[in-house]
Structure 1
Amino acid sequence: MSAPKKYRKKPVVIEAMQWDGSRASIVAICGWANDPAEDEATVEFNYCGADDVHDVTISTLEGYLHVSPGDYVIRGVQGEFYPCKPDIFAATYEEADA
């Protein structure tokens, strides 16, 4: 058996939006992520009152994943969506020039 090799992550540009916990923020994310031509939404949420958002989920290749306030919603290189914790996002991504 050979020893493990080291690999560097290829530089790719992704799109992402951070959910700040507000209803306005998740509505904007839904507008970006959800395809109106599709029957099922990619990003879904429930709310109570004016701004009490809870149960935010993303339909991913691995099933439904929960999104917490502060998490980023990422569109991957193949158009898939998934959540990412802020510390992992900061360690993995930097803002790209347009």
Structure 2
Amino acid sequence: MAKYRKKPVVIEAMLHEVNPNEPMAVYQWVEENTLGSFEPMACINGSKPYPESGISIDPRDGRLLIATPEGGIHASLGDYIIKGVNGEFYPCKPDIFAKTYDLVGD
């Protein structure tokens, strides 16, 4: 067995929160930096595969639905949305985010 240290990588992230001044800020950020939005129910019911990247809103519960290389992942209010090193987006729970990342600036 060997031990490994995570490489220091600077990422971009946004907190998915209720913001009356910019209610769709996270949605727009992901949409503008991916293949865009997609029809969620076609992917959820299996009539279409999840796109390579993108964002939608799950009509069943209103949560964000982010297309990732692993498939669709839901993001709840309070989650951080991270832009990965390959330009992919995915949600991260706030407790894991706090243990993994330090703020380096705006």
Smaller-chain TM-score range?
A: 0.7 to 0.9
> Given the superposition, is the C-alpha separation of residues 25 and 63 from structure 1 closer, same or farther in structure 2, using an over 3 Å criterion?
farther
Q: TM-score, normalised by structure 2?
A: 0.71
CA-CA distance at 1:27 after TM superposition: 0.9
Q: TM-score, normalised by structure 1?
A: 0.77
Matched, 1:9 2:6: yes
Maintained 8 Å contact 2:58/2:65: no
Matched, 1:43 2:55: yes
- Among 15, 18, 28, the alignment partner of 1:18 is 15
- Partner Cα separation in structure 2 for residue 60 and residue 90 of structure 1: 22
- Partner Cα separation in structure 2 for residue 19 and residue 45 of structure 1: 13
Maintained 8 Å contact 2:81/2:91: yes
The residue type equivalent to 1:62 in the other structure is E
Matched, 1:65 2:73: yes
Q: Render the CA deviation track for 1:20-77: whole Å, top value 9, x for unaligned.
A: 1457655101211113884645121257xxxxx8131100010000111100000001
Name whichever structure is richer in strand by fraction. 1
Identical residues among aligned pairs (%): 44
Maintained 8 Å contact 2:13/2:82: yes
The runs of 4+ residues in structure 1 deviating greater than 6 Å are: none
> Given the superposition, is the C-alpha separation of residues 54 and 22 from structure 1 closer, same or farther in structure 2, using an over 3 Å criterion?
farther
Maintained 8 Å contact 2:80/2:94: yes
Give the number of equivalent residue pairs: 90
Query: 1:84 corresponds to which residue?
Result: 92
